Amino acid sequence: MKKSPTLSLLEAPHWHDYELLDSGDGLKLERFGAYVFVRPEVQAMWRKSLTEKDWDSAHAVFQSTNEESGGHWLLKKKIPERWEMEYSLALRKGMRAIRFWAMTTPGRHLGVFPEVASHWDFMADSVQRANHPVKILNLFGYTGLASLSAAAAGAEVTHVDASKKSVGWARENQVLSELEDKPIRWIVDDALKFAQRESRRGSKYDGIILDPPKFGRGPKGEVWEVYKSLPQLLDACAAILSDHPLFLIVTIYAVKASAIHVGQVVESMMEKYKGQVDSGELVTREKSGGRLLSQAVFARWQSE
């Protein structure tokens, strides 16, 4: 009989440019660099800890509509079109700054998901522990911060995203991080179709990062729905793993998914390899009251 899975709560401890200042009443108050924002957060069911004066000092508030991720930003103070932020990546020779541009977007996001940074440190450590050249595939790569972290640790990276704008943003982050000399392929494509083509080409990867949206469209109108599409994508990814992979990371947002279920899917996918699966929630700790806010569920496999 298999052991019951244990669940982990992962925090990202090396942030200086990001803070969750407070949360409550369906909202969260966050600092991105020098600027403070209010964004919706349905899971913040408790009362706010800070005063209304503290919340009113935000530079901008995202006002939602009834549509999925719909809404607009209400600017209360002047902010630049974009501003520089950085994350201190933990490498074996010390900390390495990953720099990137942040900005407000129509979909309430600002170019970074701070809670995912715990995966960046995990990837960097896995790459550095390997005694051979490492190839990493980052699907749904967004603005490239996971790709830059893996490259900074010494990996050869293939970054795939369906959004041409996001890939362009990621390349600008590469320049800002002074990582232009690192081997990164930037590709605008549908994640599933790319993985399937890589399988036909016989390509292999030592690590794969999956950070899929709940719903999305590829560059040619391909429809992505996480519950329907993820199993097929995992099958495609299984076909392009090397004989001795280092890791597989799956992070899922904005769905009623259980970390137990995601962990079991990954465990089944990786059962022929020697390693272990960790699953749980990516969380951010409030500065105000110390409460943990769950941001996503994850499962990641690591070789022995």
Domain count of the fold of the chain = 1
| CATH for 247 | 3.40.50.150
Confirm if 59 and 37 have CB atoms less than 8 A apart: yes
Tokens for 272, please give them.
Answer: 């022929």
- Give the whole-angstrom CA distance, residue 116 versus residue 126: 16
CA angle 261, 268, 218 (to 5 degrees): 70
200 found inside a domain: yes
Strand ranges, E, within the chain: 7-10, 18-24, 27-32, 35-40, 60-64, 71-75, 83-91, 94-102, 135-139, 156-161, 184-188, 207-210, 215-217, 223-225, 247-252, 275-285, 292-303
- Give me the pLDDT at residue 257, please: 75
- Give residue 1's pLDDT: 57
Beta-strand pair 207-210/135-139: parallel
Give residue 99's identity as a one-letter amino acid code.
Answer: R
**What pLDDT score does 13 carry?**
87
pLDDT given for residue 213 in this prediction: 78
The per-residue pLDDT for 3 is 62
Q: Is residue 1 part of a domain?
A: no
- Range of the structural domain that residue 218 is part of: 7-12+82-303
281 in a structural domain: yes
> Is residue 277 packed enough to be buried (19+ CB in 10 Å), middle (13-18) or exposed (0-12)?
buried
Res 54: pLDDT: 97
Distance (Å, whole) CA 207 – CA 159: 12
3-state percent breakdown (helix, strand, coil) of the chain, nearest 5: 25, 35, 40
pLDDT value at position 229? 81
Q: Name residue 109's beta-bridge partners.
A: none
Q: Decide if 263 is inside a domain.
A: yes
Q: Is residue 233 part of a domain?
A: yes
Alpha-carbon span 253 to 273, nearest angstrom: 27
Per-residue pLDDT for the chain (304 aa), expressed as one digit of tens each?
A: 566 667 899 999 899 999 999 999 999 999 999 999 999 999 999 999 999 999 999 999 999 886 556 789 999 999 999 999 999 998 988 889 999 999 999 888 999 999 999 999 999 999 999 989 999 999 999 999 999 999 999 999 999 999 999 999 999 999 999 999 999 999 999 999 999 999 999 999 999 999 987 767 777 777 667 778 888 999 999 999 999 999 999 999 866 778 998 999 999 999 999 999 999 999 999 999 899 999 999 999 999 8
| pLDDT value of residue 228 | 80
Question: Which residues does residue 239 pair with via DSSP β-bridges, in sequence order?
Answer: none
- pLDDT of the residue at 68: 59
Sort residue 144 into left (φ over 0), alpha (ψ -120 to 50) or beta: left
